[in-house]
Chain A
Amino acid sequence: MEKFDKVHGVAAPMPLINIDTDMIIPKVHLKTIKRSGLGVVLFDEMRYHDHGGENEEFVLNKPAYRKTEILVAGDNFGCGSSREHAPWAIKDFGIRVVISTSFADIFFNNCFKNGILPIVVEEEHHAILMEDAHKGENARMTVHLEDQQITTSDGVVIEFSVDPHRKHCLLNGLDDIGLTMEKDHHIDKFENHASQARPWV
């Protein structure tokens, strides 16, 4: 997995609440057996008209936001389906950080597996970041994972928290499966115990 250290880039505002994973990537694009190439269909139904052309009103289609790397989104971002195609599409588009007041559980977990940092902030801080994101190309925010700080284009510094294990994995680009396999003996031991205690499983 790609290492995550620091992102300094354009932040786009998406204040709508309850943006679900069907909005992030509709099911017609789930028929792939690959992980790559989904950036072009990120937010497909909002981003393109029914007949195919781009919807100029949609934030990521505006000239200032075409190179967005940070998304400041409304509450409960990523709710709904467990599809990991949602973070795959976000990452493929070039977005590395999503900031909201809350995330749906499965989407939140999926982000960390793909080198995306989801950040939960208080409402008061969210308002500051949303306002900053509305400034367009000038709103180049900095997200520093090691220091756990977001710096707005005006230099306002907002601290955030992140699970230490997940931070470690992101910073070092570690693959979870490799880490778990190092604990193989614990799994063996559990299986031996469980096969005695609950042989019907």
Chain B
Amino acid sequence: MSPKTLYDKVWDAHVAHEADDGTCLLYIDRHLVHEVTSPQAFEGLRMAGRPVRAPEKTIAVPDHNVPTTADRVNGIENPESRIQVEALDKNAKDFGIHYYPVHDVRQGIVHIVGPEQGWTLPGMTVVCGDSHTATHGAFGALAHGIGTSEVEHVLATQTLIQKKSKNMKVEITGKLQPGVTAKDITLAVIGETGTAGGTGYVIEYCGEAIRDLSMEGRMTVCNMAIEGGARAGLIAPDETTFEYVKGRPHAPKGAQWEAAVNWWKTLYTDEDAHFDKVITLRGEDIAPVVTWGTSPEDVLPITATVPNPEDFEGGKVEAARRSIEYMGLKAGQKLSDVEIDTVFIGSCTNGRIEDLRAAAEILKGKKIKDGLRAMIVPGSGLVRAQAEEEGLAEIFKEAGFEWRLAGCSMCLAMNPDQLEPGERCAATSNRNFEGRQGRGGRTHLLSPAMAAAAAITGRLTDVRELL
């Protein structure tokens, strides 16, 4: 048998039918659902009189619209947001799918809840009407975002019509330097490939620096595979993975656990398997990074200066000019001189316990800069509870951060957490697009440790100065 990549193995294990032209019906093991991209899909099922084929494999949680302030127990004020969340409440009940409503302590961002509850397991196919579904690739699951029509297709048939992507390997060799995190890895990779560099590919991340990451860090890396254009990002499961999964509410138990681990241990790329594209970065060369523009590929080490648009080629010249103007920056300006108004720590990229620990380590005993607005939004109610138990919440509150309830929050600003026009934010989220965090808002993407450092000084800051 010819050698296979990890992606080949997971793909092959899920093909329910293959047509002569290579179009496949791919079976879906887990379907995650949130309130924004699903109402039209459920409506489609109702109109056609179709049931959900596998409700036991379908998990829903509201996250995008939910307020993150304590008064949310009184209901959602914005009528449109409320209607969307109520529609999900009703759809979950009517179609009999697993549901974590707003008031459940397990509620949170769908990509944090799935792994936390043990719904996401190695070797699975996982989809969600959300591009950051790539997160679940950290378990060696084939996980990607889909549109609402495909959400309806999966609800009705538990399959997707797919053609196989090409294989790409991203290897991070060696060790990371102090102050450098999973977020810096994933941003540095996008800086290298560009936001379209992964189009048509599924990425496998590997190498010593990836192996050394915790599951939380691996989720951060895979989460942003989509920002590099890839359909999905995967990391082969290992002891770190098994240890994370074991004992979670929906993880296999007893004899099934043994059987599962035996199969999971076969999920790695065979020696000599073919990759269509290979990127290698040295872990030692990766610095703490920050974005300067309005595309995640606009990434530079914190020690760099804002680039000159003329230094680029082709369509990027105009795009960079537009970005720099939108961001209110000047070519040649030192990134570490850029003053910020707001700090946002949270999102499916960096809203897990390890992210909060990294921020707390920098913030311990410190105060945020006077006049700065700073908020920490845990990725789930359980992350929030754990952070309180570990004393992290006290550190944040004493430093001057708002300590919020779980949700997507200011990552995409569908709830009341938004930037004002011109407001500049250091954010641990995943997209710095124009208007992403609020119309006219300016976003600099960075790691939780870097965000914490920026909160203390009031400007983009090299976290290594505070270590």
Q: Which residues on A are within 8 Å of B, measured CB to CB?
A: 15-18, 20, 22-23, 26-28, 30-35, 45, 50, 74-76, 79-84, 87, 102-106, 109-110, 113-114, 163-165, 176-177, 179-181, 183-184, 186-187, 189-191, 194, 198-201
Asked if B461 is at the interface of the complex by the 8 Å CB criterion, the answer is: no
Check A82 against B146 for contact (C-beta < 8 Å).
Answer: yes
Asked if B301 is at the interface (CB within 8 A of a chain A CB), the reply is: no
- Contact A183–B23 (Cβ < 8 Å): no
Closest to A86 in B: B147
Mask for B196-218, Cβ within 8 A of A = 1, else 0?
10011000000000000000000
Q: Which of B121, B149, B158, B433 contacts A114 (CB 8 A)?
A: B149
If A82-B131, A187-B159 are given as contacts, then 13 extra A-B residue pairs at C-beta distance below 8 Å, sorted by A number, are A23-B433, A31-B84, A76-B196, A79-B229, A80-B431, A82-B146, A84-B40, A110-B149, A163-B21, A165-B21, A176-B149, A186-B16, A200-B260
Q: Contacts A31-B65, A113-B149, A201-B124 hold; do A84 and B37 have CB atoms under 8 A apart?
A: yes
**Alpha-carbon gap, A190 to B15, bound state (A):** 8
A110: chain B residues at CB < 8 Å are 147-150
Report yes or no: B163 in contact with A200, Cβ–Cβ below 8 A. no
The reply on B106 being an interface residue by CB < 8 A is no
Q: Are A191 and B27 in contact (CB under 8 A)?
A: yes
On B, residues with C-beta under 8 Å from A are 13, 16-17, 19, 21, 23, 25, 27, 29, 36-37, 39-40, 43, 48, 50, 53, 57, 64-65, 78, 80-81, 83-84, 87, 121, 123-124, 129-131, 144-150, 152-153, 156-159, 161, 163, 195-196, 199-200, 226, 229-231, 252, 256-257, 259-260, 263, 295, 297, 314-316, 318-319, 322, 412-414, 421, 431, 433-436, 439-440
Residue in contact with B421 in the complex, picked from A30, A50, A190, CB distance below 8 Å: A50
Complex contacts, A179 vs chain B, CB 8 Å: 161
Q: In whole angstroms, how far apart are the Cα atoms of A187 and B53 in the complex?
A: 11
Query: Is A200 a contact of B252 with CB atoms below 8 Å?
Result: yes
Minimum CB–CB distance for B417 against chain A, Å: 12
Check if B157 sits within 8 Å of A32, measured CB to CB.
no
Q: Is the CB of A74 within 8 A of B40?
A: no
Contact assessment for A23 and B263 in the assembled complex, using a CB-CB cutoff below 8 Å: no
Q: Is the CB of B19 within 8 A of A165?
A: yes
Of B57, B145, B435, which contacts A26 at CB under 8 A? B435
Please measure, in the bound complex, the distance between the C-alpha atom of A168 and the C-alpha atom of B319, giving whole angstroms: 36
Minimum Cβ distance to chain A for residue B153 (Å) = 5
- Closest A residue, CB atoms, query B413: A27
Contact A33 B84 (CB under 8 A): yes
The contact sample of 8 A-B pairs, CB cut-off 8 A, is: A30-B36, A33-B39, A35-B148, A45-B434, A76-B229, A110-B150, A165-B161, A198-B260
Query: A109 touches which one: B80, B147, B195, B226 (CB < 8 A)?
Result: B147
Separation in Å of the B365 CB from the closest CB of chain A? 37
* B91 nearest CB across to chain A (Å): 10
B131: contacting residue among A18, A50, A80, CB under 8 A: A80
Taking a contact as CB atoms under 8 Å apart, the answer to whether B229 and A109 are in contact is no
Closest CB in chain B relative to A106 CB, distance in Å: 5
